[in-house]
Structure 1
Amino acid sequence: MVSTLQNGARMVLVAAVSSGQGKTTVTAALARSLVRRGQRVRVFKCGPDFIDPMLLERACGAPVHTLDLWMVGRDECRRRLAEAAREADAVLVEGVMGLYDGTPSAADLANEFGIPVLAVIDASAMAQTAGAVARGLRDYGPVQLAGVIANRIASPGHAQMVAGSLRDIPLIGSLNRQAASLPERHLGLVLPGEQPQIDAYLDALADALQLDAAAWDALPLTAPEAQDGPAIAPALAGKTVAIARDAAFAFLYPANLDTLRILGARLSYFSPLADEALPPDADAVYLPGGYPELHGEALSQAARWRASIRAAHAAGLPILAECGGMIALADELTDPDGRCWPMAGLLPGAVTMGTRLAGLGAQALATPDGTLRGHTFHYSRLETPVAPSRYTVRNTSGTQGEAVYELGSLTASYFHGYFASNPQAVARLLTRAAP
């Protein structure tokens, strides 16, 4: 149920015809612009993603959660949106790929919760045709279209031509061509924390965004209604979960950390890149994904970290390693430049970085406590003599997905779990004793 109560927020889903149109840039520019107007802004990202949310968090100053009808679920998406509408003046949801791409799509999300769509149109090689694109995006589904932000505009005259072509659709803003752009690498943008000028870049984007304040303020206030979620038993009460967190292990859903806290766990962070040993009071270890392939030399020389994770494994501490976390536990890693580095050596085998995607998409892991949903996205391959204990299943094809390896108290896979989809399954993984 969606109502337009005065205590709601202006809520839009930022979408486009395809990837590469500038959705992230426009969402970041709009978020920073509204923050500078004194508004409270919350931003969400549609679909599995770790890197874009880091940029959007920097732009709005608040954690950026994932919305996905399959992975997160309708009820949890509704609760997140309702909470954001209570706390914020504006709620922005960045779409994924093209508006109608995927199952479920960003359009499905918008229609499920009555969120108006704000279409980003790359107008760099068009003018009046922008109107046809906007109408196609609106009518194909259809979706409720709030308006358009024209990206990569060449001049005020160009913006006027685009505005005229939209007819009954408002041009809410425009963004000119940017001389500077954020650097990218194989998994997406370079992490914002690695860019000292990131705030200056975001401020420049906000300065460049020509926002029609009257058109924005005319958008309706939306307040989704949601019930409280089911009670979660504190299965990790009294337990300390040690979590690797640095530039090599940065791919963490905020909801995963929230889920661990709701399960009763105390979270303790450490940095393998800084050669920090596991916290001495750790009862379990969570090694999330990230960019270990960019830090092979430092990880290979991190003697304290490597000794401590080996000792933890020998002592039977449960270790959950996802993607980059698993890579760091292999015998060796060959980085994108072809250099080979010794890793921690808990999982026999070698990881080699490739230039093509080796795994992509939503997947599910069957557990004794039900299905844990998540996704995979990686360019590397693991060659190991260890036989998988099981495999994930791809959504929606139902075909075999990523291998899951269980070696002593270690559970490792390229699969990134979304912990809130099954907290009890996660609790079991983090208390799993060696067989």
Structure 2
Amino acid sequence: MPALLPDAEWRHRPGLDDLLAALEAKAGHARFVGGAVRDGLLGLPVSDLDIATTLEPADVVSRLKAAGIKVVPTGIDHGTVTAVIAGWPVEITTLRRDVSTDGRRATIAYTDDWREDASRRDFTINALYADPFSGEVTDFFDGVADLQARRVRFIGAAEERIAEDHLRILRYFRFLARFGQGEPDPDAYAACRAAANSLMALSRERIADELLKLLAVDAPLSSVKLMIDGGILAAVLPEIDEDGLARLKALIPREQIAGVAASPLRRLAALLPPDPRTAENVGARLKLSKKARKRVALALEAPDAGSAPRAIGFRIGVEGAIDQMLLDQYRPVDTIGALKDWTPPQLPIGGGTLISLGLSPGPDVAAALGEVQRIWVEEGFPDASRVTEIADQIVSKFQRARQ
């Protein structure tokens, strides 16, 4: 008996019925596909919705426009358009078959054969289709059984699927971290290890995107260990090794105890040697944004073990302070609580206040203000009246030094 997709809120979102009507889903021309079906069967929240259709892209566009539905040709050359219903994007892709592939991109042709479309997908648990109305699941490759067994398998021969798109090596370990359990499928793991050097043919942006998605998973540790043991990343990220795995293993429970959301950039920092320059080099190689590179490098600066958490947060920012403190295994986790929901205050006086207290205008003003701020931070950011007292003392000190 076919599996049935459970009813859920996402299946009744505003505008979805009109979209399905425009695609003639009741006549069998459109079905839910991929992650929405997989996550729906598991009872997980569904945010991204993909629809597969027998209709060709130009026909999809004209039908949606006629129905008054906004449509964006996001990937129309590859058969994909995006419908926007009530501010919510839905990707619609025409059934496809591969004509040729080179490990990075594929030449495709359209088809009306659902099995042919399923056979070009990566894993059995992603090749699931569901009737939008009855919820009946179409499963050509025992993906439902794999989902129930927490097993991640390539469709057909793993080495062939990897040869079609080398990124599937990294996707395998990400899906294994999220949906797998127990030992990996031996054929899949062997194929990933054998083809690991092919990752060098991919853009570093694609590698970074997939790696950070893996590190965002709640429990990535076992997958990362398999990758290190199998030499998966050696060609593109040789800096990641067993020592990095140990640091990641220590970090994850500290995040959980502190009640701090997992950060893939923080976890990437844990995997790298504790050297900001190495982090900068890796970030540049992965084409991370300047902001992301700075965060990873800052996380790996030597921890300021003698300072209070808020003093560190004031100096380098709350995000950076939390990263450093979580990565510092000698820092008690409970001290991080002082930074949660805390916004660093501003020093309540400026140079004008010091001048009004008698300090002569000039370079001493900036130096004295720095002294005031240092004491203010050390004392835990006292109120304005105390700051005025501190300022008066510092002004007197500078005046005596000039006499």
TM over 0.5: no
Relative contact order higher in (CA < 8 Å, ≥ 6 apart): 1
State the TM-score, normalizing by the size of structure 2: 0.29
State the TM-score, normalizing by the size of structure 1: 0.27
